[in-house]
Structures are given as structure tokens and as C-alpha cells.
A and B are shown apart, each in its own frame.
Chain A
Amino acid sequence: KQEVTQIPAALSVPEGENLVLNCSFTDSAIYNLQWFRQDPGKGLTSLLLIQSSQREQTSGRLNASLDKSSGRSTLYIAASQPGDSATYLCAVRPGGADGLTFGKGTHLIIQP
């Protein structure tokens, strides 16, 4: 059974810092990996989607990498801003099945 782990569970940093959120998964047979953002009391917003054949995706200040063989992904946030404060969720779409398996998330606070 696929398991997804996100480290750290919580992170608080001052504004302007670059930071890295980590995600690991136990079964490397995946179709894709997706990073989401969730604000308190809100739904999930897709940030980046990485297909299994890709190594990384970039959107603005966000960069996500994927190392399928080692079962790891990282989300890099450059020049963090208070508006980046949210919970960030990593999810993998397993090979041979369609349902996403989610990690528990990293609760990020950017201090002004």
C-alpha cells in the first residue's frame, strides 16, 4: 500500500527566506505527483503537477522536483512571502490505479 510522508509537519520562517518542503513515497510506481496548497477552511489548490517521466516543474517562485527511483519530491519556495502561509500537500497517483494518495501536509507560516 502506497504511503506518503511529508517532512516537516510544520515550519515557521521569516519573510524572504528560501525554503524546501519534502515528500517521500514508498512505492515508486507512480503516474504523477501533484503539490497542492490548502488555506484554512478552504479547498485544495493545485500548484504543480509532475508526470513520472519528468524531473521537475516550475511555476513562478515555486519549483518541484521528482526523483521517482528514490521515492522523493521536493517543493522549493523562493523568496517566501506572508501570503505563502498555508498547508502544503503532496499527493501521488499510483501506477495502475487512479486515486491520489496524500501526505498529511506541511503547515507553513511565513512571519512578516
Chain B
Amino acid sequence: DAGVIQSPRHEVTEMGQEVTLRCKPISGHNSLFWYRQTMMRGLELLIYFNNNVPIDDSGMPEDRFSAKMPNASFSTLKIQPSEPRDSAVYFCASSLLLGGYTFGSGTRLTVV
């Protein structure tokens, strides 16, 4: 198993541009999570899906953030328009329902 796959690994974009982060969960896992990590706030849960359905998006900071999971093998996190304060490492993780998490390697986003 290749694990949770995230792309791109690094993204540098200008303020105001749209950013799309991608995630492929482990095959067979039915829960998918998006986290953001910063030095100041640590790891924060943004949104999670069970069986492709969004369950809790209360961690999404603003309407500029949106996430989709069109099928069991793919999810996106979109920021539009991006701002410098969105700079962080974004992690995707997957699990079996109520099982342990497996994290991807993350996407390091820099908004200038």
C-alpha cells in the first residue's frame, strides 16, 4: 500500500490566487480528514468525511475554504482567494471508521 498520497508537496502562490490541494486516501479507508499545522496553533482539524459525506466542517476557518470528496479515492481542499495567513502545512489523513489514522506527507503552502 502506498499510504495516503498528497499533492503537490510544495505550493507557492500569490495572494488572491486559487489553490487546490489533493489527497488520495488508503484504499478501503472510509474516513478522510484534512488538518492544518502551524507553529502557533499546532494541528487543527479543518473538515472530515465519512463514506465520502462531509460530517463536520466547523474547523474550516472561512468561506474561502472548501473541500470535496467526489469518490472514495479522491479529495480536494480549495482556498479561493488565498491570503498570506493561509500559509501552513496541510495534511490529509485517512482511517477505517474509529480506527487509527494514517497521515500523508503534507503540502507546504506559502502565500506571498
Contacts and interface: CB of A to CB of B under 8 A. Distances in A.
B100 A49 contact: yes
Interface stretch (B18-26, B41-49, B78-86): B41-49
B98 A99 contact: no
Contact-size category for B: 20 to 34
Contact of B98 (A42, A46, A98): A98
B100 A43 contact: no
Contact of B56 (A43, A49, A97, A101): A97
Q: Is the interface of A mostly helix, strand, loop or mixed?
A: strand
Interface residues of A, number: 22
A99 B55 CA distance: 10
Interface in A8-61: 31-32, 34, 36, 42-46, 49
Contacts of A89: 43
